[in-house]
């Protein structure tokens, strides 16, 4: 397909093996689908596991890293294209612009921030791209409950759940992206 899929994920090496297995399976599937991985440019944690799996299956990897993290032992130096930005905000802007779809694997504060920002940008009409929350091992269950609370207490409209797709299955994730067609959402501030 040659789509560029942005994957947000953890840079921690101290995770349950199930997360590394899933990251590797996702990377392999992205490559087998003929898509390109765009990610945060790190060699550690789920970032590195995903990128290595893409390369093991002859896929292409684009890394985007801020200059403060462009350090030997931190940066994934085998990227087919490696973009160094001045800071995190610029990094996110490049990732947003270059990507055709977004997948959030489990991750820490940075992953959560990236996921929430890309959902918010879609809600405000800045893009119409597919967003998938890959909810491995129930990792995102507490966040999804918070999303329900946001809707239940009228901080967001119920149709805002259309902004993203949640699954724990890699093939369902990529199938959603394959068949994704943006649907117009009502204005954020519309009455009703």
- Rounded-to-integer distance, Cα 174 and Cα 32, Å: 11
Burial of 54 (C-beta count, 10 Å sphere; 0-12/13-18/19+): buried
Q: What is the pLDDT of residue 30?
A: 98
**How does pLDDT run across 106-157, given as a tens digit for each residue?**
999 999 999 999 999 999 999 999 999 999 999 999 999 999 999 999 999 9
**pLDDT in the model for residue 183:** 82
Residue ranges and CATH numbers for the domains of the chain are 4-179 (3.40.50.450)
Tell me what pLDDT residue 27 has.
Answer: 98
So what's the pLDDT on residue 192?
Answer: 47
Sequence-distant (6+) residues with CB within 8 A of 22 are 105, 134, 136, 170
- pTM to 2 decimals? 0.94
Among 97, 174, 95, which residue's Cα sits nearest to residue 134? 174
Please state, in angstroms and rounded to a whole number, the distance separating the CA atoms of residues 183 and 48. 34
pLDDT given at position 163: 95
Question: Which of 8, 178, 190 has the alpha carbon at shortest distance from 96?
Answer: 8
- Chunked into runs of 10 residues, the chain (192 residues) has average pLDDT values of 94 95 98 97 96 98 96 93 96 96 97 97 94 98 97 92 96 97 71 50
Burial string for 78-91 (b: 16+ CB within 10 Å, else e) reads ebeebbbbeebeeb
Using CA atoms, how far apart are residues 64 and 99, in angstroms rounded to an integer?
12
Nearest by Cα to 35 from 98, 114, 126: 98
Q: Which pLDDT score is estimated for 184?
A: 77
DSSP state of 180: -
Say what the pLDDT of residue 187 is.
67
Distance CA 23, CA 137 (A): 12
């Amino acid at each position: 397909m040659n789509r560029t899929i942005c994957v947000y994920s953890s840079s921690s090496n101290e995770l349950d093996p199930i997360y590394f297995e899933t990251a590797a399976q996702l990377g392999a599937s992205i490559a087998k689908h003929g898509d390109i991985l765009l990610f945060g440019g790190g060699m550690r944690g789920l970032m590195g596991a995903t990128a290595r799996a893409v390369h093991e299956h002859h896929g292409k990897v684009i890394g985007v890293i801020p200059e403060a993290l462009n350090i030997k032992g931190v940066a994934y130096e085998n990227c087919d294209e490696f973009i160094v930005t001045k800071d995190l905000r610029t990094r996110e802007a490049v990732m947003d612009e270059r990507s055709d779809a977004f997948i959030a694997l489990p991750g820490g504060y940075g992953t959560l921030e990236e996921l929430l920002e890309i959902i918010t940008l879609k809600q405000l009409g800045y893009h119409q791209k597919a967003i998938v929350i890959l909810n491995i091992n129930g990792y995102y269950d507490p966040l999804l409950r918070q999303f329900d609370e946001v809707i239940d207490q009228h901080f967001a409209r119920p149709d805002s759940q259309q902004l993203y797709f949640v699954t724990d299955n890699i093939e369902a994730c990529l199938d959603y992206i394959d068949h994704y067609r943006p649907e117009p959402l009502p204005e954020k501030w519309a009455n009703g």
